[in-house]
Amino acid sequence: MDGPEFIRQIGRSWEFFKQLTLDRTLIWKASLPVDEDFRRVALAPESFYAEIYRVGLSRSSYNFLLSDYSYFQFSWDSDAAWKLAYFPNPWIAGVPDA
């Protein structure tokens, strides 16, 4: 897969959620740029899931947000480094340590 195809697939994913009427906000229809603040919190061993989730949500560090405030992060670069992440809303999904 190359960059343009990756972007097309993000768009197709967004359209899928729109058809299911689960869509809320599309922020990035391309590979998500690295957010150093999000990364710092996400990689800190003392961080709980709810804190990581809140930082991503508050900084709009996602490609798109669903109606239940869960969000997706998609990143890809030419060195074949992938990040495909789903962050469910911890207060709806019952995530431990929320």
Give me the residue spans of the domains in the chain.
3-34+61-93
Please give the chain's pLDDT, 98 residues, in tens: 777 888 899 999 999 999 999 999 999 888 898 899 999 999 999 999 999 999 999 999 999 999 999 999 999 876 767 889 999 999 885 555 55
- At 16, give phi and psi (nearest 5°): -60, -50
Q: With the C-alpha atoms ordered 25, 29, 31, 34, is the resulting torsion angle positive or negative?
A: negative
The reported pTM is 0.85
| CA pair distance 32, 78, nearest whole angstrom | 14
| CA pair distance 95, 68, nearest whole angstrom | 14
Residue 31 in contact with residue 6, Cβ under 8 Å?
yes
